[in-house]
């Protein structure tokens, strides 16, 4: 029986991906900070699907924890880099500690885990890697923040490695899941207003599409889980930037008033920040209409 490791598995898309993998008979290693929620998920999935589900309590922003997860990942057949966070505050007003934490989750941790799993997968001649990216990686729709740039790293890294001769010649496959707005528990925690129904996808649906994609004989390098978002990402990539950045199409986080002139505003931390893909809560007075 093969084994999969899912980061940020406590809630939302991470938990739904874990369920979809368990339904296909994969044993699981579930990594996240949220101890009790992670334990409940692991126990419930194991009992429901008759697989082994191990809860690995780890904060990927802590070097020692990241190394523990990297060690656990070395013998897995499937890696899902799902843990991530964003900041609902413009770059010039964030505390550097928060920026560093987000970059650790969105850039450093996924790269470290890829570095851990890829050599043994190539040596065994089998393996699947799923990196969770975002529509925000394809255009400056979250203006004034580093969120889109951090998610663009994962998308670019996936494509850079997946199209290399080494991976093309190997059964190992790497896929980036490009998400739009996905309904999950995170939005309640972060206080984010819901998007129009046309732009919102259910988390279980997205998870099932992603897991189905990586189980194909030839998984796609980029997976966009709905026709509407395939159209949207195509437009964002090919429309002139002056159109993509029009007010109403892009969120400008520099328009949110700060707490005090010249001071960094530290946002409240969401319990789902590294438990599922999403954003940290916007600063007081901010109102975000979309998560991309």
Candidate list 147, 163, 205, 229, residue with the active-site label: 147
Domain 3-255: CATH architecture, name and number where available: 3-Layer(aba) Sandwich (3.40)
On whether the CB atoms of residues 89 and 282 are closer than 8 A, the answer is yes
pLDDT (mean) for 131-143: 80
Tokens of 158: 């996936």
CA–CA dist 192, 239 (Å, integer): 27
269 exposed, middle or buried (CB, 10 Å; 0-12, 13-18, 19+)?
middle
Is 229 one of the catalytic residues? Answer: no
User: Which residue shows structure tokens 């802590």?
Assistant: 62
pLDDT value at position 119?
Answer: 97
CA angle 115, 15, 12 (to 5 degrees): 105
Eight-class DSSP state of 108: I
Is the pLDDT at 181 greater than 90? The verdict is no
**Considering the chain, what is the average pLDDT of its residues?**
80
Distance of CA 192 to the CA centre of its chain: 17
pLDDT (mean) for 187-203: 58
Is the pLDDT at 262 greater than 60? The verdict is no
Mean pLDDT is lowest, of 113-122, 164-173, 195-204, for 195-204
Which has more pLDDT, 6 or 181? 6
Beta strands in 114-179 (DSSP E): 128-134, 142-143, 173-179
CA–CA dist 28, 9 (Å, integer): 10
């Amino acid at each position: 029986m093969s084994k999969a490791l899912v980061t940020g598995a406590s809630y939302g898309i991470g938990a739904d991906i874990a369920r979809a993998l368990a339904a296909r008979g994969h044993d699981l290693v579930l990594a996240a900070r949220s101890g009790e929620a992670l334990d409940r998920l692991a126990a419930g999935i194991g009992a429901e699907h008759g697989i082994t589900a191990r809860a690995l309590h780890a904060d990927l922003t802590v070097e020692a924890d990241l190394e523990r997860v990297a060690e656990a990942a070395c013998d897995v057949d499937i890696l899902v880099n799902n843990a991530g966070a964003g900041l609902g505050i413009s770059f010039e007003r964030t505390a550097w500690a928060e920026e560093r934490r987000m970059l650790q989750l969105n850039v450093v941790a996924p790269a470290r885990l890829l570095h851990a799993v890829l050599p043994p997968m190539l040596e065994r001649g089998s393996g699947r890697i799923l990196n969770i990216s975002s529509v925000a990686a394809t255009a400056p729709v979250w203006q004034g923040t580093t969120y889109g740039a951090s998610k663009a790293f994962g998308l670019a890294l996936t494509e850079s490695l997946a199209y290399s001769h080494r991976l093309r010649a190997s059964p190992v496959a790497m896929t980036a899941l490009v998400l739009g707005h996905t309904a999950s528990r995170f939005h309640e925690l972060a206080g984010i207003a819901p998007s129009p129904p046309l732009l919102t996808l259910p988390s279980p649906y997205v998870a099932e599409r992603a897991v189905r994609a990586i189980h194909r004989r030839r998984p796609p390098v980029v997976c966009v889980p709905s026709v509407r978002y395939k159209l949207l990402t195509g437009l964002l990539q090919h429309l002139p930037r002056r159109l993509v950045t029009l007010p109403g199409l892009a969120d400008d986080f520099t328009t949110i008033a700060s707490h005090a002139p010249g001071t960094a505003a530290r946002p409240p931390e969401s319990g789902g920040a590294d438990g599922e893909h999403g954003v940290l809560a916007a600063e007081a007075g901010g109102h975000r209409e979309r998560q991309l």
